Amino acid sequence: MESFGFRFLGFELFQLIWMLFPSFRKTINTKLKTRIPYLRTRFMKPIQEFFPLLNQSRNVVITTHQKPDADAMGSSLALKHLLVQLGHSVTVISPTNWAGWVDWMPGTKEVMNYEQDKQKGDDVLEKAEWLFCLDFNIFHRTKAMTDKLQALSCIKILIDHHQEPDSPSFDYGVSDTSKSSTCEMIYDFIIASGNADKINNEISQCIYAGVVADTGSFRFSSTHAGVHTLVADLKSKGLQHGYVHEKLFDNFLENRLRFTGHVLLNRMQVFYEYNTALIAIPKSDLLKYNIKTGDTEGLVNYPQSIQGIKLVALVIDRDEERKWSFRSKGEFDCNTFARKYFEGGGHYNASGGRSSDSLDGTVQRFKEVIKENANLLQ
């Protein structure tokens, strides 16, 4: 009798906690969904099922990964320009600041920087009925916003092309690693939801910028035929592609070019026995050349022009951690490499990672692991 009463009380307590604490409910739900593959595929509904909801006017927040690049910012703004035309109130919130060379994109001025004004960001997030998460696969890519986003109970929609998305955390979504860019996926979203007529110059410029950036100007293997069809469509709608190229590639200050010269001359090592090139940048270089957010973008691509190079690694000594970028050609899986050795991940031929070790320490580790991977690098 006594033990029955105890169990009964235990059950009631559990029920009470379940009802009172949505975050507890969410944790249990997420755990279940992660463990049981059937539930996992059940819970993120296909994006097509979301389309019918688009004609109800809503408070919408669009967010993306920290330090948004051209694809992250371009996809967020392109989607915003669509949703505004459909009658929604839309705010784009970036977890952090972004590179100055992204500022030209139509709508960037209204983007909120969460790091700069957390309170304002939280207020907007709390009113959100829909949360779109673009160009990232898991909430911790939003840095300081992570806990807040996880705790929100609004409808969450994922649109992304990175590997192994945290699908249980989203209500609707599309995750497709065969897509060149999130911008391409926003184009697909616009067409598939029957809104082709809404593609204006602002949307075209944003989408084109992200596609160009994420395909390395149409050279990566992710540039499937559909990418060129998309561009042809944007061109037929009046896109001035030269303008976007100029804004993306001819829009820097002198110090950045001098820094690039310095880095290629003094900070690059080539290990021909492993077909690998490494660039390691100490903090003193960033200070000396007054390097800002985004100024190191694209640096990792230079050593790929050396004959025979299969893997390029770039590591930068940032305040809080050492940030790695990896690029590969052909059959070397950068995603697995970054996951296994440098707490990161990404795509097959392009990924990122981190280390809390010193710059020298993490470089030493890199030299050891390329030896381990010697066979794969031949």
Q: Which residues bind Mn ion (CB under 5 A)?
A: 71, 135, 182, 214
130-134 and 59-64: which strand pairing?
parallel
CB of 217 to Mn ion, least distance (A): 14
In the complex with Mn ion, the residue whose CB is nearer, 214 or 297, is 214
In the complex with Mn ion, the residue whose CB is nearer, 135 or 333, is 135
CB of 209 to Mn ion, least distance (A): 11
Q: Could you give the C-alpha distances from 70 to 87, 189, 213, 284, in angstroms and in order?
A: 26, 18, 6, 27
In the complex with Mn ion, the residue whose CB is nearer, 204 or 275, is 204
- The H or E element spanning position 159 is strand 155-160
| Torsion sign, CA atoms 112, 115, 119, 121 | positive
In the complex with Mn ion, the residue whose CB is nearer, 212 or 286, is 212
CB of 72 to Mn ion, least distance (A): 6
Backbone angles phi, psi at 130, to 5 degrees: -125, 140
User: Identity (one letter) of the amino acid at 67?
Assistant: K
In the complex with Mn ion, the residue whose CB is nearer, 276 or 335, is 335
Cβ neighbours of residue 79 under 8 Å, at least 6 residues apart? 62, 132, 134, 159, 186, 189
CB of 344 to Mn ion, least distance (A): 15
What is the rounded distance in angstroms from the CA atom of residue 312 to the CA atom of residue 121? 37
In the complex with Mn ion, the residue whose CB is nearer, 230 or 268, is 230
CB of 161 to Mn ion, least distance (A): 6
What is the rounded distance in angstroms from the CA atom of residue 237 to the CA atom of residue 23? 46
In the complex with Mn ion, the residue whose CB is nearer, 214 or 317, is 214
In the complex with Mn ion, the residue whose CB is nearer, 156 or 347, is 347
CB of 71 to Mn ion, least distance (A): 4
Q: Could you give the C-alpha distances from 137 to 11, 63, 150, 167, 292, in angstroms and in order?
A: 36, 12, 13, 8, 26
Which of these, 249, 266, 367, lies nearest to 311 by C-alpha position? Answer: 367
CB of 255 to Mn ion, least distance (A): 27
Tally of residues, the chain: 378
CB of 182 to Mn ion, least distance (A): 5
